[in-house]
Amino acid sequence: MRSAHVVSVVRTAEQALMSRLPEGALMRRAATGLAVHCSRMLPRVYGSRVTLLVGGGDNGGDALFAGADLAARGAFVRAVLAGSRTHPGGLAALRAAGGRVVGGGDAAFPESLGVPLPEEVETALFDTDLVVDGLLGIGGRGGLREPFAALASLASNSPAPVLAVDLPSGVDADTGEVAGHAVRADATVTFGTYKPGLFVDPGAERAGRVHLVDIGLAPELPGADLVCPQAVDVARLLPSPAAEDDKYRRGVLAVRAGSDQYRGAAVLCVGGALRTGVGMVRYGGGEDVLAQVIARWPETVGLNLDPLNSTDLGPGRVSAAVVGSGRGTGPANAGELRAVLESECPVLLDADALTLLAGSASLAELVRRRTAHTLLTPHAGELSRLLPDADRAEIEARRLEHATRAASLYGATVLLKGSTTVIAHPGAPAAVNPTGTPLLATAGSGDVLSGAAGALLASGLPAWEAAMCAAYLHGRAAELARDGAPISASDLVEALPLAAVEVRHAATEVSFPGA
């Protein structure tokens, strides 16, 4: 599990560690790790051209010391000093190693708007083998001012790869928010611990591949503010059938999805559940929808429910229920949702169920009073209806904040779908899913996810773990389905077992290294 911490926690931990180390030791550790990753991004060190964008903070110092290391090994290193001050030790080390400053000598160039960048600065950014972004550190907030904004734009358009120091300049370390210009990096080297903004869009999309450099901070850090699961973490959570298990012990999932208008939602939701692994699916719906589900998935136990009176969860034991995908928002659907929420089993609410929830104070109160696990799976538009005074654009800009707020408001687990899938649960660290592809933006993919998460709920996983595992498998299935070619939701259903096999194999490799 990759753990991330907010800036205030990182600062406290750094101060505690620095109090026991010689002055400058922590920066030297960071700079050494940064230089190693710079070397890996260069065709070779000797004779390569490296351009440093240097701000006035500590990460500017990190960049200067790393540049000095590269210059001492034969690289041609140029530093663009952009802050109102420059780390004196780092600058001295760079000069001593043969590096040079461009664009204004020892003084930074003016920060006033409209002042053009010196020509040699633009040349340094386009006639180079690597750009190192050390403009702003993790304390940066708000949009970039000049000349930082202009340098960020030039760096992002440079033909050379860009390596960001700690996080791309212009990205909020705690939230991933980008307010204006920001550097778009090919890779980011971060120190001590991951920062939430490296995993949450729009910041994550600008971070590229993220590398963690160990500077000895771990013993000073408390529990994570955000986690990003890896394959082995998912594998350890996935239920594995035991020899004595029967279909009931493996979990029975009630699915209330689909309607005459949206029959495919039922087929895809049931398929997602079956392919993720569940003992039984009990589907309830109208005659025509039920017939289509049984035709595609004959192992389904079907219940013909009158669409105007569909409050029965069905005979026999039910371990969890999924309701809402393509179901409808009429009075009968509201009655069905109420009956499901009044049950004692874990429940997943998606799509139309979320619309009904947003429009009913009594249904919202039912969710808050539930003692069984409740999982809400909105996209940004649906979440804007669940949250007062939040529009879709605001949610997409600050996904972590709004998912966490919704989890607190409803007392439920919230899986916010989108370019970054965020899972929030009251009292737990937020989780961010690392898998997936823009190809998931296709009709029906959310129905498959609901079925997969419902299956894991039915198997006994708590909502936070079920959501995290389902999102990981769903995203990985999209990556595996057609080797990067366009996919449909039906492709996702068939690729879910491939994703499950892959993560279990990852766990085996960790348990038996070298086997």
Question: Reading across the β-sheet that carries 162-165, which strands appear in turn?
Answer: 100-102, 76-81, 49-54, 130-134, 162-165, 187-191, 209-213
According to the model, what pLDDT value does residue 313 have? 64
Last residue of a domain, one of 202, 223, 244: 223
Strands 301-304 and 280-285: parallel
Residue 164 lies in a domain: yes
451 annotated binding-site participant: no
Q: Residue 63 carries which side chain, given as an amino acid letter?
A: A
User: 161 and 94 in one domain?
Assistant: yes
> What's the structural domain count of the chain?
2
417 annotated binding-site participant: yes
Residue 75 lies in a domain: yes
514 annotated binding-site participant: no
pLDDT digits (tens, 9 = 90+) for 264-285: 999 999 999 999 999 999 999 9
246 annotated binding-site participant: no
Residue 404 lies in a domain: no
- When computed from its CA atoms, the radius of gyration of the chain, rounded to whole angstroms, is 26
419 annotated binding-site participant: yes
According to the model, what pLDDT value does residue 438 have? 93
According to the model, what pLDDT value does residue 107 have? 45
SS3 state at 263: helix
Q: Using alpha carbons, select from 133, 175, 204, 139 the residue that is nearest to residue 7.
A: 139
279 annotated binding-site participant: no
CATH number at residue 348: 3.40.1190.20
425 annotated binding-site participant: no
Residue 308 lies in a domain: yes
Measured distance CA(142)–CA(153) in Å, rounded: 16
Last residue of a domain, one of 175, 197, 223: 223
Question: Reading across the β-sheet that carries 374-376, which strands appear in turn?
Answer: 2-4, 226-228, 430-432, 422-424, 413-416, 374-376, 347-349, 320-323, 252-256, 280-285, 301-304
pTM above 0.85, yes or no: yes
Identify the weakest region by mean pLDDT among 104-118, 403-417, 459-473: 104-118
5 annotated binding-site participant: no
Q: What residues does 323 pair with on adjacent strands?
A: 256, 349
Q: Please report which confidence band the pLDDT of residue 355 belongs to, taking 50, 70 and 90 as the band edges.
A: very high
SS3 state at 87: coil
CA angle centred on 408, ends 353 and 228, rounded to 5°: 90
Strands 430-432 and 422-424: antiparallel
DSSP labels, 423-440: EE-TTS-EEE-----GGG
Q: What residues does 164 pair with on adjacent strands?
A: 133, 188
Tokens of 302: 């079907």
Highest mean pLDDT: which range of 56-65, 308-317, 377-386:
377-386
CATH number at residue 114: 3.40.50.10260
309 annotated binding-site participant: no
User: 102 and 33 in one domain?
Assistant: yes
Q: Which position has the token pair 């569909």?
A: 310
Residue 408 lies in a domain: no
User: 181 and 260 in one domain?
Assistant: no
Percent of the residues in the chain that have a pLDDT greater than 90, as a whole number: 82
418 annotated binding-site participant: yes
User: 255 and 309 in one domain?
Assistant: yes
pLDDT digits (tens, 9 = 90+) for 56-88: 889 999 999 999 999 999 999 999 998 778 999
Average pLDDT over residues 480-495: 94
Biggest CA pair distance of the chain: 82
Measured distance CA(38)–CA(59) in Å, rounded: 14
User: 154 and 42 in one domain?
Assistant: yes
CA 204 vs. chain centroid, Å, equals 8
Length of the chain: 515
421 annotated binding-site participant: yes
According to the model, what pLDDT value does residue 105 have? 46
484 annotated binding-site participant: no
With 50 as the cut, is the pLDDT of residue 114 above it? no
According to the model, what pLDDT value does residue 147 have? 87
141 annotated binding-site participant: yes
Give the mean pLDDT of the chain: 92
User: 354 and 322 in one domain?
Assistant: yes
264 annotated binding-site participant: no
User: 441 and 348 in one domain?
Assistant: yes
User: 156 and 70 in one domain?
Assistant: yes
Average pLDDT over residues 361-389: 96
Structural domain of residue 347, as residue ranges?
231-367+425-510
User: 213 and 235 in one domain?
Assistant: no
Last residue of a domain, one of 196, 223, 250: 223
User: 207 and 280 in one domain?
Assistant: no
pLDDT digits (tens, 9 = 90+) for 205-260: 999 999 999 999 999 999 999 999 999 999 999 998 888 877 878 899 999 999 99
Output the CA–CA distances (angstroms, integers) from residue 234 to 20, 50, 84, 229, in the order listed: 37, 40, 46, 7
Nearby residues of 298 by Cβ (< 8 Å), 6 or more positions away: none
H or E segment and range at residue 443 = none
61 annotated binding-site participant: yes
Residue 300 lies in a domain: yes
138 annotated binding-site participant: yes
According to the model, what pLDDT value does residue 111 have? 46
Q: Please report which confidence band the pLDDT of residue 515 belongs to, taking 50, 70 and 90 as the band edges.
A: very low
Residue 157 lies in a domain: yes
Q: Residue 489 carries which side chain, given as an amino acid letter?
A: A
Residue 400 lies in a domain: no
58 annotated binding-site participant: yes
User: 86 and 143 in one domain?
Assistant: yes
Identify the weakest region by mean pLDDT among 67-76, 138-147, 348-357: 138-147
pLDDT digits (tens, 9 = 90+) for 395-441: 998 999 999 999 999 999 999 999 999 999 999 999 999 999 999 99
Q: 459-479 burial, b if ≥16 CB within 10 A, otherwise e?
A: bebbbbbbbbbbbbbbbbbbb
454 annotated binding-site participant: no
Q: Please report which confidence band the pLDDT of residue 113 belongs to, taking 50, 70 and 90 as the band edges.
A: very low
420 annotated binding-site participant: yes
Residue pair 205/176 in contact (Cβ under 8 Å)? The answer is no
Tokens of 53: 């964008």
User: 66 and 171 in one domain?
Assistant: yes
